[in-house]
Amino acid sequence: MATRKKPRPVIGWREFVDLPELVGYPIKAKIDTGARTSALHAFDLTLAEVDDVTTASFEIHPDQRSARHSEAVSCEVLSFRKVRSSNGKSELRPVILTTARIGKIEWPIEISLTSRDDMGFRMLLGRSAIRKQFLVHPSRSFLLSTKPSKES
């Protein structure tokens, strides 16, 4: 008798993602199955090494297309990876490990830190972050998340 796999939840091509260890406000993210690595817009990024531990300090603008609100973040760097961006250029990026949440589903995620000033979304969720977690509906949005209220 074959056991049935639990069906995976379906997310849209964009969702609001909570990163509770980094920022207190959900970030609108593009779900990009063509990108292997997830990316987060980090500005004023500085790296420091103390006792063989590299720490990244940076600012996050959680609101898409707005620089009004920012939050300062500092966290340990997991590794550095060469990532090829959508324009074809490769760049060595710091990668952090944190918790992500869409709706009620929470899981660990690796995110590369980079400037996404010229991109439409502050965050990109790549295929390694969603693998074995979700199915993606390419023509729907916000299936598991809702737009946060400005009061929160």
Instruction: Tell me the whole-structure pTM to 2 decimals.
Output: 0.87
Give Cα separations from 67 to 26, 41, 86 (angstroms). 15, 12, 23
Cα 27 from Cα 15, distance rounded (Å): 8
Q: What is the pLDDT of residue 64?
A: 65
Closest CA to 21 of 80, 86, 74, 82: 74
- pLDDT < 70 regions, the chain: 1-4, 62-68, 149-152
Cα 29 from Cα 127, distance rounded (Å): 13
Q: Where are the domains of the chain?
A: 10-40+78-137
Cα 34 from Cα 42, distance rounded (Å): 21
Sign of the dihedral through C-alpha 102, 106, 110, 114: positive
Cα 81 from Cα 90, distance rounded (Å): 10
Q: What is the pLDDT of residue 152?
A: 41
Cα 152 from Cα 103, distance rounded (Å): 16
Q: Running DSSP on this structure, what letter comes out for residue 128?
A: H
Phi-psi group of 44: left, alpha or beta (phi > 0 → left; psi -120 to 50 → alpha; rest → beta): left
Specify the CATH superfamily of domain 10-40+78-137.
Acid Proteases (2.40.70.10)
Q: What is the pLDDT of residue 65?
A: 61
